[in-house]
C-alpha cells in the first residue's frame, strides 16, 4: 500500500492551480495614454470620419484602458484612413424589366490603421486592409443602422489587433 498516488495527484492539482502566464498580448506596459489623430476620409461618405473617430476614442478608453491625451503628451498615436465605403445588395430577387427587389444590403467600410509607440518611435501595430461590415434590411432598417454595425466591427478589429501584440 502506497500513498504516493494521492500525494502525486494532489501535488499536480496544486501546481496546475498555481500556473500563471505572463507576457504576451496587449499594448506595451508603458503605453497608458493615447491620441486619436483626425481620421482621413478618402471615401465619398460624408461624416464617416467623425463617426469612426468617436468609436475609436470610446474604444481606446473603455476597451484598451487608455487615457486620452494630446498628441504631444500621448504614449501612443492612433491614425486611421478610411479607404472605401460601399453599400451593396446581398440578397435580392430580380424582377424582369423592373430591376430587383432587395431584401438585404451590406455596408462595408475599409480602412488602414497604425498605432505608433512614441517612446520608441516605432509602429507597434498596423493594418492596411481592415474591413468592417454591417447588414441591414431596407424594408425595415436604414443605411445608417448598417453603417453603425460596420463601424463597430471595424473598431473591434482595431482593438483585437492592438491587444494581440507580442
Task: Please write the tens of the pLDDT for every residue from 41-93.
Answer: 999 999 999 999 999 999 999 999 999 999 999 999 999 999 999 999 999 88
| DSSP E strand boundaries for 29-159 | 33-36, 40-41, 67-68, 76-95, 99-117, 122-136
Please give the pLDDT value at position 88. 95
pLDDT at 25: 58
DSSP state of 152: H
* H or E, element range at 4: helix 4-17
* C-alpha span between 51 and 132 (Å, rounded): 13
Cβ–Cβ < 8 Å for 132, 151:
yes
| pLDDT recorded at residue 20 | 32
Which residue did the predictor score with more confidence, 26 or 70?
70
pLDDT for residue 98: 77
CA torsion, ordered 156, 91, 49, 69, to nearest 10 deg? -10
**Position 152 confidence tier, pLDDT thresholds 50, 70, 90:** very high
State phi, psi for 90 to the nearest 5 degrees: -115, -20
pLDDT tens for 110-144 read 999 999 999 999 999 999 999 999 999 999 999 99
Angle at 142 between CA 137 and CA 145, to 5 degrees: 95
The pTM assigned to this predicted structure is 0.81
Q: Is the pLDDT of residue 5 over 90?
A: no
145 Ramachandran zone, left/alpha/beta (phi>0; psi -120 to 50):
alpha
pLDDT at res. 80:
98
What does the pLDDT average to over 101-110?
95
Domains of the chain: 26-163 (3.40.50.10610)
Question: Please, which residues bridge with residue 93 across strands?
Answer: 101
Nearest CA to 24 out of 157, 164, 124, 119 is that of: 164
Amino acid at each position: 500500500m502506497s500513498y504516493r498516488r494521492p500525494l502525486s495527484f494532489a501535488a499536480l492539482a496544486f501546481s496546475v492551480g498555481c500556473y500563471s502566464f505572463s507576457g504576451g498580448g496587449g499594448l506595451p506596459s508603458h503605453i497608458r495614454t493615447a491620441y486619436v489623430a483626425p481620421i482621413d476620409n478618402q471615401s465619398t461618405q460624408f461624416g464617416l470620419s467623425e463617426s469612426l473617430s468617436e468609436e475609436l476614442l470610446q474604444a481606446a478608453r473603455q476597451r484598451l484602458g487608455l487615457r486620452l491625451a494630446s498628441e504631444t503628451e500621448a504614449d501612443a498615436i492612433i491614425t486611421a484612413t478610411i479607404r472605401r465605403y460601399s453599400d451593396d445588395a446581398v440578397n435580392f430577387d430580380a424582377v424582369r424589366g423592373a430591376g430587383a427587389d432587395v431584401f438585404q444590403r451590406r455596408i462595408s467600410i475599409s480602412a488602414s490603421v497604425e498605432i505608433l509607440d512614441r517612446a520608441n518611435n516605432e509602429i507597434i501595430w498596423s493594418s492596411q486592409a481592415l474591413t468592417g461590415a454591417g447588414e441591414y434590411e431596407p424594408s425595415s432598417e436604414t443605411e445608417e443602422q448598417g453603417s453603425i454595425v460596420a463601424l463597430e466591427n471595424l473598431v473591434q478589429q482595431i482593438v483585437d489587433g492592438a491587444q494581440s501584440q507580442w
